[in-house]
Chains A and B, each alone.
Chain A
Amino acid sequence: MNKTINQKAWFFVIPVFVLVAFNAIIPLMTVVNYAFQETFGNNVFMWEGTRWFKQIMLSERFHASLGRQFLFTFIILFIQIPLGIGIALTMPKEGIGVPICLVLMSMPLLIPWNVVGAMWNIFALPDIGFLGHSLNALGFDYNFTQQIGDAWFTTILMDVWHWTSLVVLLSYAGLQSIQPAYYQAAEIDGASRWAVFTKIELPKMKKVLTIAILLRFMDSFMIYTEPFVLTGGGPGNATAFLSIDLVKMALGQFDLGPAAAMSLIYFFIVLLVCWVFYTLMMRNEGNQ
């Protein structure tokens, strides 16, 4: 069969191509460019090879912020996923309660990130903030601007408040899609509530939970705005997660080469973790 030659098809492809080039490929290649060279401005570059990569990989500062990042991400996943599923399970399945719950749940997601940071900053201030003042009044020695534990506690609490809703909404959607017949079948079999959860609800929510975990992993691994506004990475470097550290290096110290190398490493870590996780979760999925 002869193919018709029609170059007009390019008009459909080119806009997407240009868009992707401008918002992803060109900026990324600029970063790649910086990562292998040294520059002192005036568009003068010197080839450095893998020097910046070696420097970052061996730097204690990077190890520390990477460690903090993983710790933070694991803690919030550990809290938000079970909590989100738990809240979704207790939400009403029909009636007027459904829209009310859904709107209430969506609220934190609708607030701009820097506002979330500012809100929690004021909320947690030890002298005038409601949370900070109350905790101190109750006898806790709480000061998130000076004590590392308190800073972590506040940052985690803020993230849980901000993002648990996303897990709730996704889990709720997953739960709602389970046909009532499944619950009836379990009832007939005399299955316990726990068995219904582990044998029906969890397997049926698997795909949507995989997405929830992936989204929460990526977002929390790249978290910047909220801790930047809340703690500014402090006290000291206690809450300086990867992206905060990266910005410090790139814009604070103007070490463009190492910062570019670091952002590439950062990017590959996110990509690798997501790929491994997704592949593991989906390896036994049939074509259901």
Chain B
Amino acid sequence: MSLELKNVEKKIGLDTHIYTTNLKLEKNTINILLGPTLSGKTTLMQIIAGLDKPTTGEIWFNDKNVTGMKVQKRNVSMVYQQFINYPNFTVYENIASPLKITGISTDETKQRVGKVAELLKLSGMLSKKPNELSGGQQQRTALARALVKDSDLILLDEPLANLDFKLREELREELPRLFEDRDCIVVYATTEPSEALLLGGNTATLQEGKVIQYGKTLDVYNKPNSLLSAQVFSDPPMNITKIKKVGDNCSFLDDSVNWKSKINIKDGEYKVGIRPHNITTYKEGNNSLEIKGKVLISELSGSESLIHFTKGDLNWVSLSNGVFQKNVGDEMNLYMNADEFIYFDENERLVTNG
């Protein structure tokens, strides 16, 4: 089983919403579409589902051209950012609704709904109506509707975006388990890099209607093919600076920071991407560079501390473990792990990831 997009392009009027895209999604994989709002995730997803037709190009499923085939015939299910359930159906009827047109017997329906409801912790509320449930339970019902039939393709369009923090964390942890041992292709759109890392599988980074990179999630994270891909896959945003390399000597910020490097690239100027968690308040790794920064903002995120600071003309973001707060305007020492720098050329293509 595989799904392939061949030269798919989507235009609405004169606007191009999706630039020519080639993608091959394999059976039993989770594929994450990662990109900021308006990057084309939803449009691409609707084309994949068959809810929308590409302007040019074809969609092939199991070596069959399914471009323009009606969505009912494609055996797909979809979960949305909004909690989409039939308002005057009970939870049971809602979960059973996708089975209606398949002609499955009542007994089997009952059994399947029961199983899915248990998986999603909805067993106790099968006779309630959606508006009697919390947001998290409404979204669980929508997820159950998607899982109850054996779809070839399950699409999830930012399913956690409308949930509040705690419910989101809770459901996020359950997600990978839900898709285990399912004979289907899962496509999952999200704006959050952490969700992509948690779900694993494959990731496609998107920006302004273009797929920048597609591959195994960890590969895309560790070896972004371009600065753009690295930026999409970094939250908090990636720090970018220019460095000079002459022989073994590397330097940046007008030579104010120098270090020796055995990195095997030719001499010249490079753009370097540094992930916030590689700038810390403590030394990490063997190749730690010390810099002095001036604190702009200091904030806590869970058990981690985010410090925004200035050094040179640039604003930087650092992410350290532990909870502490710095005063605005303080000078402080921060350490960059030079082994984790990602080098890009003048065209912002990857040179090496250190």
Interface string of B57-88 (1 = CB under 8 A from A): 00000000000000110001110111010111
CA of A180 to CA of B45 in the docked complex: distance in angstroms? 15
Report yes or no: A179 in contact with B72, Cβ–Cβ below 8 A. no
Chain B binding site: helix, strand, loop or mixed by DSSP? mixed
Cβ of A184: which chain B residues have Cβ within 8 Å of it? 46, 51, 71, 78, 80
Tell yes or no: A182 within 8 A of B by CB: yes
Cβ of A191: which chain B residues have Cβ within 8 Å of it? 101
Interface string of A268-288 (1 = CB under 8 A from B): 000000000000000011111
Q: Whose C-beta in chain B lies nearest to the C-beta of A198? A: B88
| Binding-face segment, A49-57, A72-80, A199-207 | A199-207
Given A200-B86, A286-B132, residue A185 in contact with residue B80 (CB < 8 A) = yes
Report yes or no: B82 in contact with A179, Cβ–Cβ below 8 A. yes
Contact count band on A: 10 to 19
Q: Whose C-beta in chain A lies nearest to the C-beta of B130? A: A288
Cβ of A288: which chain B residues have Cβ within 8 Å of it? 131
Report yes or no: B88 in contact with A199, Cβ–Cβ below 8 A. yes
Interface string of A191-213 (1 = CB under 8 A from B): 10000000110011000000000
Chain B residues numbered 24-82 whose CB sits less than 8 Å from any CB in chain A: 46, 49, 51, 71-72, 76-78, 80-82
Tell yes or no: A181 within 8 A of B by CB: yes
Given A179-B84, A182-B84, residue A286 in contact with residue B129 (CB < 8 A) = yes
Cβ of A287: which chain B residues have Cβ within 8 Å of it? 131
CA of A189 to CA of B76 in the docked complex: distance in angstroms? 9
Q: Whose C-beta in chain A lies nearest to the C-beta of B138? A: A288
CA of A185 to CA of B131 in the docked complex: distance in angstroms? 18
Report yes or no: A203 in contact with B78, Cβ–Cβ below 8 A. no
CB < 8 Å neighbour of A189 from B80, B87, B98: B98
- How distant is B46 from chain A, measured CB to nearest CB, in Å? 8
Report yes or no: B101 in contact with A185, Cβ–Cβ below 8 A. no
CB < 8 Å neighbour of B49 from A188, A190, A203: A188
CB < 8 Å neighbour of A188 from B71, B81, B89: B71
Given A200-B87, A203-B88, A286-B129, residue A188 in contact with residue B76 (CB < 8 A) = yes
Tell yes or no: B100 within 8 A of A by CB: yes
Given A188-B71, A188-B76, A288-B131, residue A204 in contact with residue B87 (CB < 8 A) = yes
CA of A185 to CA of B143 in the docked complex: distance in angstroms? 12
CA of A189 to CA of B101 in the docked complex: distance in angstroms? 7
- B interface residues, how many (CB within 8 angstroms): 24
Tell yes or no: B22 within 8 A of A by CB: no
Given A181-B80, A286-B129, residue A190 in contact with residue B72 (CB < 8 A) = yes
Interface string of B111-129 (1 = CB under 8 A from A): 0000000000000000001
- How distant is A94 from chain B, measured CB to nearest CB, in Å? 12
Cβ of A188: which chain B residues have Cβ within 8 Å of it? 49, 51, 71-72, 76-78, 98
- How distant is A207 from chain B, measured CB to nearest CB, in Å? 11
Tell yes or no: A141 within 8 A of B by CB: no
Tell yes or no: A127 within 8 A of B by CB: no
- How distant is A182 from chain B, measured CB to nearest CB, in Å? 6
- How distant is A220 from chain B, measured CB to nearest CB, in Å? 28
- How distant is B129 from chain A, measured CB to nearest CB, in Å? 7
Cβ of A286: which chain B residues have Cβ within 8 Å of it? 129, 131-132
**Can you name 22 A-B residue pairings with CB atoms under 8 Å?**
A179-B84, A181-B82, A184-B46, A184-B51, A184-B78, A185-B78, A185-B84, A188-B51, A188-B71, A188-B77, A188-B78, A189-B72, A189-B100, A199-B86, A199-B89, A200-B86, A203-B86, A203-B87, A204-B87, A284-B129, A285-B131, A287-B131
**7 nearest A-B pairs in the assembled complex, by CB-CB distance:** A286-B131, A288-B131, A190-B72, A190-B101, A203-B87, A181-B80, A203-B88
